Amino acid sequence: MHCVTTPSPPTPSASGRLVVHAVPLATDNLGWLVVADGQAAIVDGPEAGPVLAACDALGVVLTTVINTHTHGDHIGVNRDLARRGLLGGLRVIGPAAVAAQIPGLTDPVRPEQTIHFAGVPGRVILTEGHLDGHVSYHFEDLAFTGDALFTGGSGFLFSGPPSAMLEGLARLAALPPETWIFCAHEYTEDNLRFALTLEPDNPALVRRVADVAARRARGEATVPERLAVELATNPFLRTTSPELLASLARELPDAPLDTPVAVYAATRRLKDLKRHRR
Ligand SMILES: [Fe+2]
């Protein structure tokens, strides 16, 4: 059973030309169906069944798959569509750096390249660190960040190094603050529980923790969220917060904290210890 029983309502882009529909997948994956002019693009996912059902329900045709990276729960939708004989006719957009690992790839893309969906331009943003080749996609005020920037957190460092993740997060943090962040998992509540151990006196964070807890208790999704909220509360975007730095120094007395990369790495290390779950 999926951890979200009440998906987020559809999100229109600033111009209204794109509308993003949530498709809960597997147990905590969030597939994002971008709809325009009767056609749809699915951004990542472990499976195709609920994506095709959502297209049927909306009366739109799946024409495009957009992949952020090559983990199985992101390109699984490609494999599932291939099994059903449906991948061949689709446009598949994914990072050129890992092209051989993306089933059905037709449009290999490079960082800072401009792509179009239904005539709407989007920017490819390099966001490695979680996994080599990982990119995010930015259309109007919508950013699809895969497992790089999560609401309230950021993805595990499978490939690293920490500097690659921090550089990618900085590129996302530089987007307009009203940008909606669409990440690939419903992890916000656990992410914020960790954030609160670092900044218990951050009033924006305290408010968000209460809001997210209430929404999750009702089975609601907490994605997407505005970048402005992330900048105010997400510890991985707050490497200069004095309270966060003091907490890190107390929790990891041996960790260097003299550069933003060192602060990011210490934050990552502390989260991976999972003390906040005890
Ligand atoms: Fe991943």
- Torsion from C-alpha of 218, 177, 260, 151, nearest 10 degrees: 20
pLDDT-derived band at 191 (thresholds 50, 70, 90) equals very high
Q: What is the pLDDT of residue 230?
A: 98
Contact between 271 and 251 (Cβ < 8 Å): no
Counted residue by residue, the chain has a size of 278
CA 25 to ligand 1 center in whole angstroms: 14
pLDDT surpasses 90 at 76: yes
Residue 64 and residue 43: Cα distance in Å, rounded?
9
pLDDT-derived band at 223 (thresholds 50, 70, 90) equals very high
CA 186 to ligand 1 center in whole angstroms: 13
CA 226 to ligand 1 center in whole angstroms: 21
CA 276 to ligand 1 center in whole angstroms: 22
CA 127 to ligand 1 center in whole angstroms: 12
Over residues 252-259, mean pLDDT? 97
The predicted-structure confidence for 135-163, as pLDDT tens digits, reads as follows 999 999 999 999 999 999 999 999 999 99
| Domain hosting residue 266, numbered range | 11-277
Residue 102 is assigned to a structural domain of this protein: yes
CA 246 to ligand 1 center in whole angstroms: 30
Over residues 246-273, mean pLDDT? 97
pLDDT-derived band at 242 (thresholds 50, 70, 90) equals very high
Residue 82 is assigned to a structural domain of this protein: yes
CA 177 to ligand 1 center in whole angstroms: 25
CA 97 to ligand 1 center in whole angstroms: 16
How many domains is the chain partitioned into structurally?
1
DSSP H helical segments within 46-134, as ranges? 49-58, 72-83
pLDDT surpasses 90 at 74: yes
CA 130 to ligand 1 center in whole angstroms: 7
CA 15 to ligand 1 center in whole angstroms: 30
pTM over 0.85: yes
Residue 154 is assigned to a structural domain of this protein: yes
Helices (H) and strands (E) in the chain, counts: 8, 15
CA 115 to ligand 1 center in whole angstroms: 22
Residue 247 is assigned to a structural domain of this protein: yes
Q: What is the pLDDT of residue 268?
A: 98
The predicted-structure confidence for 7-45, as pLDDT tens digits, reads as follows 899 999 999 999 999 999 999 999 999 999 999 999 999
CA 270 to ligand 1 center in whole angstroms: 20
Average pLDDT score, the chain: 97
Over residues 68-80, mean pLDDT? 98
Contact between 107 and 92 (Cβ < 8 Å): yes
Phi-psi region of 8 (alpha: psi -120 to 50; beta: other; left: phi over 0): beta
CA 253 to ligand 1 center in whole angstroms: 30
CA 140 to ligand 1 center in whole angstroms: 24
Residue 5 is assigned to a structural domain of this protein: no
pLDDT-derived band at 278 (thresholds 50, 70, 90) equals confident
Residue 188 and residue 73: Cα distance in Å, rounded?
18
> What are the distances in angstroms from CA 193 to CA 31, 66, 189?
24, 31, 6
Residue 241 is assigned to a structural domain of this protein: yes
Find, among 135, 108, 140, the residue nearest to 124 by Cα: 135
Over residues 80-101, mean pLDDT? 98
Q: What is the CATH number of the domain that holds 80?
A: 3.60.15.10
Tokens 């009033």 -> residue: 203
Residue 2 is assigned to a structural domain of this protein: no
Percent of the chain residues past pLDDT 90, beyond the cut: 98
Residue 278 neighbours by CB distance under 10 Å: 5
pLDDT-derived band at 70 (thresholds 50, 70, 90) equals very high
Residue 80 is assigned to a structural domain of this protein: yes
pLDDT surpasses 90 at 188: yes
Residue 102 neighbours by CB distance under 10 Å: 22
